[in-house]
Amino acid sequence: MKLNKFSVLFSAVFSLLFVASAFAQNETFKNANVEYTFDLPEAAWKQTVKPSEMSPNVEYVFGDRAGGHLEVRKISVKAGEMFSDIIENEEQKLQFLPGYVAGKDENFKGSLSGKVFNYEYVRSGRNMSGRFYFLKANDTTIYVLRFTGLRDKLRSIRNQTDSIARTFELAKK
């Protein structure tokens, strides 16, 4: 009789784990108008801007824009241009944000490797932050994944921003 209770309990736990893993499936972003793909770790990420033939830009929000906002941009650079120069060019656009404070650069490895740039600023009296992933596709192409949101919320989903950047890769043709 004890064996039956154990078997039933084991079957129930295994079934729950199976169902939970089925719901935790990543959604993969793919679109014919762009040459890359990436995985979204949660269904809370909602697409707000779709790429088109005229504009290859992609944007997502995590719940709402303050909870996390992702913009994917492609930057053409000169062959051999240093990451520090590319980050500095992007930072020049940010330094006029109210309360802007630059963070440190970090090395990043995923399907594409590169650098991460962190910063903080203030919007409407609220502490905000940004985390930009600069991912090198080739000598003349860098993709920038620009995550912004409320500082505490963006910090709480950092594992997801890292996951999206890690799975960002050029589409297989």
DSSP codes, 96-111: TSTT-EEEEEEEE-SS
Q: Could you give the residue ranges of the DSSP H alpha helices within 31-171? A: 83-94, 151-156, 158-167
pLDDT of residue 19: 39
Q: With beta carbons less than 8 A apart as the criterion, state whether 135 and 142 touch.
A: yes
Helix, strand, or coil (residue 148):
strand
pLDDT for 5 equals 55
Residues in the chain predicted with pLDDT less than 70, given as ranges, are 1-25, 173
What is the distance between the alpha carbons of residues 91 and 57, in angstroms, rounded to a whole number?
A: 20
Task: Please state, in angstroms and rounded to a whole number, the distance separating the CA atoms of residues 28 and 21.
Answer: 16
pLDDT in the model for residue 24? 52
Residue burial 85-102, b: 16+ Cβ < 10 Å; e: rest: ebbeebeeeeeeeeeeee
pLDDT at position 173 is 65
| DSSP state letter for 18 | H
Query: May I ask the CATH architecture of the domain 25-170?
Result: 3-Layer(aba) Sandwich (3.40)
| DSSP at 45 | E
The per-residue pLDDT for 14 is: 44
pLDDT at 7: 52
pLDDT per residue as tens digits for the range 68-96: 999 999 999 999 898 889 999 999 999 99
pLDDT the model gives residue 92: 93
